[in-house]
Every structure is written in C-alpha cells, then in structure tokens.
C-alpha cells in the first residue's frame, strides 16, 4: 500500500523539536533589538487582527534572522609558534617536581570589521611579535624569570596569560606608532577578542583570552 497522506495535500516532515526550540529562543533573545511597528512584547512578533501571523510577522522574523547572522559573523587571524621551557610545579600538599614543556602556541585575533587594507591584522606583524615574546621563554627555566616571581605555579594557563599580555602590549604599541605616523592604510581592523592557546601535548591544551566589544587595540 502507498503512504497514507492527510487530506488536503502532501505530508510535510516536521522540524526536530530541539532545533525549533533553539530557533525560537534565538528569536526571543534578539527581539528587543528590533523595535518594529506592531510589536506586541519581548520576543513576540506582531499578529494580524485575526490573531494569526501576518506580513508584519514574516518581516519581523526575517529581520531577526538577519540580525542573528550579523551578530555571529566575523573575521579571524591566527599564527602559531613554539618554545621549550622548564619549571617547577607543586599541587596542593604534594612534593614539588621539575618538568619541561614543548609548548605549541596559537595566537588568534577575532573581530567584526576589517581595516582599510582589507585585513583584520597584519599577520606578519602578529607572527613577529609572537616570536619575540616566546624568545624570552625559549630554553629557559621559568622559575628564574622576574615576571613569574611570586606567581606560584607557572601552569600552561599562567604562561598563556603572560604571552597574551606581552602580545597585546606589542600590538597596542604598533597601533600608537601607526596613528602617530598618520598611516591609515596600516591600521588594523576592529579586533574585539584575542586568545592565546597553548598545546602542551597532542591531547591537552589550555589558554587565556580577553574580549571587548569596543575593541582591544586602541586604548
């Protein structure tokens, strides 16, 4: 026997309930950003006189979807380098132990807008700055470095934060020099998030990030 269809037309597969729930939740969260005529409350599209979604509701939901796409869009630049270091670690009341790490370091810059030259950041500049930062740790004992004095364990998280701070300082200094020289073409885009991720092995990593919707590079 053929497939039984309801009277009035072919059957239409329903959307997965979980996906529909996520979609409705996204519409509700973004509704407050779209003050449209006929809006009847937070997260509720306008309805026609008969109580059914009309043309205004369709436009409303389309605008919400467009806003969601814009909110999720962005650019990313990433560079990778590595260094080797040794240090002493102690966890809780355990015995301190010496260990070493070959750290593969990824520095990622994220942002919603490109600069005048169509790039988020000069990738070669970011690569040079990361190499300069890691050169200070390469083949060194972190316990002897003044920047880690009194910091406790120089875990991967702590090292990632130190790399991030030095990298961000270098990027900000570059931006100050560009502004002072009046070279708008060399300006970066709007970088709103910088993340440093360190792979301490092929199966484990930790990192540090900072995020500012107003931009991180211009103080």
pLDDT single digits (tens) 101-120 = 999 999 999 999 999 899 99
Distances (CA, A) of 77 to 67, 74, 125, 194: 24, 11, 11, 10
Query: What domains appear along the chain, each with residue ranges and CATH number?
Result: 17-72 (no CATH), 75-211 (3.30.479.10)
**98: β partners:** 88
What confidence category does residue 25 fall into, taking pLDDT thresholds of 50, 70 and 90?
low
Q: From CA 195, how far away is CA 182, in angstroms rounded?
A: 28
Query: Of 49-53, 179-183, 202-206, where does mean pLDDT reach its minimum?
Result: 49-53
β-strand pairing of 193-199 with 140-141: unpaired
Alpha carbons within 13 A on the beta-carbon side of 84: 2
Residue 83 pLDDT exceeds 70: yes
3-state secondary structure of 216: coil
Mean pLDDT of the chain: 81
Which tokens sit at 187? 């300006």
Write out pLDDT tens, residues 49-64.
565 566 666 666 766 6
């Amino acid at each position: 026997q053929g497939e039984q269809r309801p009277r009035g037309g072919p059957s239409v597969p329903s959307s997965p309930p979980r996906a529909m729930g996520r979609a409705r939740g996204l519409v509700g969260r973004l509704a407050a950003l779209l003050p449209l005529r006929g809006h009847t409350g937070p997260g509720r599209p306008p309805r026609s006189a008969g109580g059914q979604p009309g043309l205004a509701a369709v436009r409303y939901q389309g605008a919400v979807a467009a806003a969601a796409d814009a909110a999720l869009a962005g650019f990313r630049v990433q560079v990778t380098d590595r260094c080797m270091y040794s240090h002493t670690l102690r966890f809780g009341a355990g015995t301190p132990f010496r260990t070493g790490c070959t750290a593969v370091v990824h520095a990622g810059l994220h942002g919603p807008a490109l600069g005048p030259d169509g790039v988020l950041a000069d990738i070669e500049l970011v690569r040079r700055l990361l190499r300069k930062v890691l050169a200070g740790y390469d083949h060194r004992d972190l316990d002897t470095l003044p920047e880690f004095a009194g910091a406790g364990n120089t875990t991967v998280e702590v090292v990632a934060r130190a790399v991030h701070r030095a990298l961000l300082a270098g990027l900000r200094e570059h931006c100050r020099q560009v502004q002072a020289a009046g070279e708008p073409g060399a300006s970066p885009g709007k970088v709103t998030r910088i993340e440093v991720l360190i792979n301490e092995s092929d199966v484990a990593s930790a990192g540090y990030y900072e995020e500012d919707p107003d931009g991180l590079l211009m103080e």
